[in-house]
Chains A and B, each alone.
Chain A
Amino acid sequence: MSAMGIAVPDQVRGPVITGWSAVSPYGIGRDAFVQGVSSGRATVSVLDTDKWPGPDELACLVPDFDVREVLGKKGTRSMDRVTGLAVTAVRELLRDETRQRDPFADEEVAALVLGTTTGSAQSMMDLTRDTWINEAPFHVDPGRFPNTVMNCAAGQCAIWYGLKGPNTTVAGGRASGLLALNYARRLLTAGRAHTILCGAAEEYSPARSWLERHTRHPDENATVLGEGCAVLRLQPPGTHPHPLAELLCITTAITHPHHITTTLAHTIKRALHQTRLNPHDIWAVSPSTPPGTTADHERNALDLIFTDHTPHHIPAPGPIGDTAAATATFQITTLLSHHQQHPQPPNRIALITAIDRDGVLATALLRLL
């Protein structure tokens, strides 16, 4: 630790991550994710083109994820895939972490903050398509209309599990997971919630894959799309006997594509400055490793910061594909999986970096407990 450091070991000041779960191409639930990270196995599969009539031959899908089979037939007739992924991830978190099977009671007001790219582009485009191909333009499925609004997944999670606290959806592309975490942190600081489920979700769909196909730069052509939802439980310090990690800080910036390296390096320096840490205090780094040359800029920024030592590299959750909005939350769950599999002495500090195509940069510093 630095001499100036934050770190009397047991003095936890920031909000703490007290649990997590994930629905990912590794499978449903935290154990499946931890095992997947441990093995690093590939999850890519050849798509059934009847079911997935898009431009992709390959994708990383949550295996056998059928909303009605996973969640049952009640209340799922019109549920879209991204909503199903989010509801399932919240279910798994409540099951794993508290053995909680029932919705929250009225007095335990839990909040939910969920990151997204654009909700379900598939649901939105399907509804418009129906206005053109059906007999009359208003012959659309009213049950599916709510799916076309980007807060659908978060609202449904609240309905399923009685989450009556603040319920917020945030969009910042690949940085969404960290923007959601920052939003959650501010909710705690302002005293607007005491337990926050915070994560991000992205579905695979033909609509998303076509939008991707038409917007990719040539250097991004090797991208394989993934999907999933990861959710963390965030609580104030001192409210949980065995927190997993402390959120020390989040910094964000906006950059022009030509300035990613310098802006990201600056954003990391701000995080270190705010926490009075030095680069050599950082034990591990988890870069978002976006497709194409952007990953080089990210690596260059890290090289600018870490000149004297090389932190451990927590690989981006690459084997589950490009999970877009969910990427940064999966970076955190990957870090926590590593920590679970290979416990370190407490107080090791990890840096998470996220870069979005539209110029949003974000970093987080987490102290593993």
Chain B
Amino acid sequence: MVLTGFGVFSSIGVGAVEFAEGLRSGRSGAKPITAFDTKGFAHANGCEIVDFQPERWIRNLDVDELGRASQFSVAAARMAIDDAHLDVETLREQRGLISIGTTDGESFDLDQLVESEIWFGPENMDATIARRVRAGRLSAAVAHELGLTDVEAVTIPTACAAGNYAIGYGFDAVRTGEVDFALCGGADAMCRKTFAGFYRLGTIAPELCQPFDADRKGILTGEGAGVLVLESLESALARGARIYAEVLGYGLNCDAYHQVAPNQASVARCMELALDNAGIKPSEVDLISAHGTGTKANDITEARAIREVYGDLPPRTISIKSMLGHTMGAASALAAIACSLAIVHGFIPPTINHVTTDPECEVDCVPNEAVEADLRIVQNNGLAFGGNNSIVMLGKYEGVR
């Protein structure tokens, strides 16, 4: 199973080329939030996409009928197909899976409806906005835009690990030959609801996201989408596709422990499941892309889980959330793309904003500056509310074996 096309919308770059440049140069997407009214919050930085022009990518659907998260998912899917040099006409003759993960779906629209309800009453809701909110649309709209009929479109709202879930589902569906291709990934739009919730929990950083830093203060909410084209190696070779990376396997489990606090043993177990599924040993892993939210609890728990599996000398462990914030359901999809680009271009993206590593997070997070590295196997962690863990293993494609 290989990845042959990427669609990327992030606060540090649009498209795989720009995203790779952003990752390599350690670009920061942090800036004051404009997506919603932040009056009354003492601080309100986020990693917003300020110049998104959905019309550039969405050719067939009316963008006003799509919420912002669906606009991201559809635009990213279109970009991924273009990037993979896939002919849509050919895809229409094939069987496919469209799996898009999300945390908030169209909560940005629900926010608008609540605001209007407060002023004008619920009987005056905007019907166009109300039509946009069902979560299934994030994936169904991709099929409608591309004119794909013989596809299964499923939205996977498993919160902040959803992107990895969606990639895993694509992996299982393509591997058995049930489908010829998968368009999988994640999308989310910034919303007031989630910002306020994390703020109330004391987990929004005032200015910057500093994963694994002794002085880290939490997350910055972000937005965007990452969509990946996944197909069999045979299919990719037959059409002479450029291969970014192989998907080697993945692991999936649930803490069954706490709604918001991760559980070390369970996260470690998920890593073992992913390693087993991919048929690799911990010593073969060259890099871990951590969930790395930059909260006190996550980073300690995750670092300890990594050491539980990898021992005292774990692979370098980075968090791209330092650059593009926490893009929620898009996070692990964008991270999977980042891992693949790192493999292709031979570098490790840095963990920026880093001053002093927390002694309780004993990992080499590649502070501030990217480093050159030949990466063969990379692990991409996704952890979520509800104890939903999903970890994807990616490998360098080294030719026909």
Q: Which residues of A contact B143 (CB under 8 A)?
A: 254, 359
CB proximity to B under 8 Å, residues A148-186: 148-152, 154-156, 158-159, 161-173, 175-176, 179, 182-183, 186
A-B contact pairs, 10 of them (CB 8 A): A121-B110, A128-B114, A129-B114, A137-B39, A137-B40, A146-B259, A155-B386, A158-B255, A159-B387, A192-B172
Given A132-B114, A133-B118, A149-B159, the answer on whether A118 and B135 have CB atoms closer than 8 Å is: yes
Interface segment, one of B14-22, B121-129, B353-361, B374-382? B121-129
Residue of A nearest to B96 (CB): A254
A362, B148: Cα distance in complex, Å: 15
Interface segment, one of B73-81, B188-196, B341-349? B188-196
Residue A263 lies at the interface, judged by CB distance under 8 Å to chain B:
yes
Q: Which residues of B contact A176 (CB under 8 A)?
A: 136
Taking a contact as CB atoms closer than 8 A, the residue among A128, A182, A186, A253 that contacts B192 in the complex is A128
Q: Which residues of B contact A215 (CB under 8 A)?
A: 127, 130-131
Interface segment, one of B3-11, B150-158, B232-240, B317-325? B150-158
Contact assessment for B123 and A55 in the assembled complex, using a CB-CB cutoff below 8 Å? yes
Contact assessment for B114 and A356 in the assembled complex, using a CB-CB cutoff below 8 Å? no
Residue of B140, B143, B260 ringed by the most chain A CB atoms within 10 A? B140
Contact assessment for A124 and B107 in the assembled complex, using a CB-CB cutoff below 8 Å? yes
CB distance from B353 to the nearest CB of A (A): 23
A81, B145: Cα distance in complex, Å: 35
Interface string of B240-270 (1 = CB under 8 A from A): 0000000000001111111110000010000
Q: Which residues of B contact A187 (CB under 8 A)?
A: 172
Contact assessment for A192 and B133 in the assembled complex, using a CB-CB cutoff below 8 Å? no
A266, B259: Cα distance in complex, Å: 42
Residue B215 lies at the interface, judged by CB distance under 8 Å to chain A:
no
Contact assessment for A151 and B159 in the assembled complex, using a CB-CB cutoff below 8 Å? yes
Contact assessment for A172 and B153 in the assembled complex, using a CB-CB cutoff below 8 Å? yes
CB proximity to A under 8 Å, residues B172-190: 172-173, 175-176, 178
CB distance from B329 to the nearest CB of A (A): 9
Residue A293 lies at the interface, judged by CB distance under 8 Å to chain B:
no
A131, B255: Cα distance in complex, Å: 30
Contact assessment for A158 and B122 in the assembled complex, using a CB-CB cutoff below 8 Å? no
Residue A304 lies at the interface, judged by CB distance under 8 Å to chain B:
no
CB distance from B184 to the nearest CB of A (A): 13
Contact assessment for A173 and B173 in the assembled complex, using a CB-CB cutoff below 8 Å? no
Residue A189 lies at the interface, judged by CB distance under 8 Å to chain B:
yes
Given A133-B118, A210-B125, the answer on whether A158 and B154 have CB atoms closer than 8 Å is: no
Contact assessment for B40 and A138 in the assembled complex, using a CB-CB cutoff below 8 Å? yes
Q: How many residues of A contact B (CB 8 A)?
A: 76
Interface string of A69-108 (1 = CB under 8 A from B): 0000000000000000000000000000000000100000
Residue A256 lies at the interface, judged by CB distance under 8 Å to chain B:
yes
Q: Which residues of A contact B111 (CB under 8 A)?
A: 128
Taking a contact as CB atoms closer than 8 A, the residue among B118, B196, B254, B257 that contacts A140 in the complex is B196
Given A138-B200, A210-B125, the answer on whether A164 and B255 have CB atoms closer than 8 Å is: yes
Residue B120 lies at the interface, judged by CB distance under 8 Å to chain A:
no
A142, B385: Cα distance in complex, Å: 13
Q: Which residues of B contact A159 (CB under 8 A)?
A: 256-259, 387
CB distance from A326 to the nearest CB of B (A): 14
Q: Which residues of A contact B154 (CB under 8 A)?
A: 170-172, 179, 183
Interface string of B91-125 (1 = CB under 8 A from A): 00000000000111111001101110110001101
Contact assessment for B136 and A127 in the assembled complex, using a CB-CB cutoff below 8 Å? no
Residue B199 lies at the interface, judged by CB distance under 8 Å to chain A:
yes
Contact assessment for A211 and B130 in the assembled complex, using a CB-CB cutoff below 8 Å? yes
User: What 5 A-B pairs come out closest when comparing CB atoms?
Assistant: A155-B386, A167-B254, A150-B157, A145-B197, A171-B135
Residue of B nearest to A250 (CB): B152
Contact assessment for A173 and B136 in the assembled complex, using a CB-CB cutoff below 8 Å? yes
Q: Which residues of B contact A296 (CB under 8 A)?
A: none
Contact assessment for B136 and A140 in the assembled complex, using a CB-CB cutoff below 8 Å? no
A206, B113: Cα distance in complex, Å: 13
Contact assessment for A171 and B156 in the assembled complex, using a CB-CB cutoff below 8 Å? yes
Contact assessment for B155 and A172 in the assembled complex, using a CB-CB cutoff below 8 Å? yes
Q: Which residues of A contact B266 (CB under 8 A)?
A: 164
Taking a contact as CB atoms closer than 8 A, the residue among A127, A192, A214 that contacts B130 in the complex is A214
Taking a contact as CB atoms closer than 8 A, the residue among B110, B123, B130, B136 that contacts A360 in the complex is B136
Residue of B110, B143, B144, B266 ringed by the most chain A CB atoms within 10 A? B110
Contact assessment for B136 and A253 in the assembled complex, using a CB-CB cutoff below 8 Å? no
Residue of B105, B136, B197, B387 ringed by the most chain A CB atoms within 10 A? B136
Footprint of A on B, CB under 8 Å?
39-41, 102-107, 110-111, 113-115, 117-118, 122-123, 125-127, 130-131, 133-137, 139-141, 143-144, 148-159, 165, 169, 172-173, 175-176, 178, 191-194, 196-201, 252-260, 266, 384-388
A156, B256: Cα distance in complex, Å: 8
Q: Which residues of B contact A189 (CB under 8 A)?
A: 172, 176
Given A151-B384, A172-B155, the answer on whether A163 and B135 have CB atoms closer than 8 Å is: no
Residue A66 lies at the interface, judged by CB distance under 8 Å to chain B:
no
A117, B151: Cα distance in complex, Å: 19
A190, B250: Cα distance in complex, Å: 11
Residue of A nearest to B161 (CB): A151
Contact assessment for A149 and B135 in the assembled complex, using a CB-CB cutoff below 8 Å? no
A182, B130: Cα distance in complex, Å: 28
A172, B384: Cα distance in complex, Å: 21
A130, B40: Cα distance in complex, Å: 13
**Apart from A151-B388, A154-B388, A170-B154: 19 A-B pairs, beta carbons within 8 A:** A103-B256, A128-B192, A128-B196, A129-B117, A137-B196, A138-B199, A142-B201, A150-B157, A150-B159, A151-B157, A151-B159, A151-B386, A168-B158, A172-B136, A211-B125, A211-B130, A254-B151, A356-B140, A357-B134
Contact assessment for A358 and B134 in the assembled complex, using a CB-CB cutoff below 8 Å? yes
Residue of A nearest to B259 (CB): A146
Residue A255 lies at the interface, judged by CB distance under 8 Å to chain B:
yes
CB distance from A200 to the nearest CB of B (A): 12
Contact assessment for B196 and A186 in the assembled complex, using a CB-CB cutoff below 8 Å? no
Residue A119 lies at the interface, judged by CB distance under 8 Å to chain B:
yes
Residue of A140, A149, A166, A214 ringed by the most chain B CB atoms within 10 A? A149
Residue of B114, B191, B194, B385 ringed by the most chain A CB atoms within 10 A? B114
Q: Which residues of B contact A6 (CB under 8 A)?
A: none
Q: Which residues of B contact A42 (CB under 8 A)?
A: none
CB distance from A110 to the nearest CB of B (A): 10
A138, B386: Cα distance in complex, Å: 22
Residue A347 lies at the interface, judged by CB distance under 8 Å to chain B:
no
A182, B156: Cα distance in complex, Å: 13
Residue A116 lies at the interface, judged by CB distance under 8 Å to chain B:
yes
Contact assessment for B152 and A155 in the assembled complex, using a CB-CB cutoff below 8 Å? no
Taking a contact as CB atoms closer than 8 A, the residue among B155, B157, B386 that contacts A158 in the complex is B386
Contact assessment for A155 and B200 in the assembled complex, using a CB-CB cutoff below 8 Å? no
Q: Which residues of A contact B178 (CB under 8 A)?
A: 186
Residue of A nearest to B165 (CB): A168
Q: Which residues of A contact B159 (CB under 8 A)?
A: 149-151
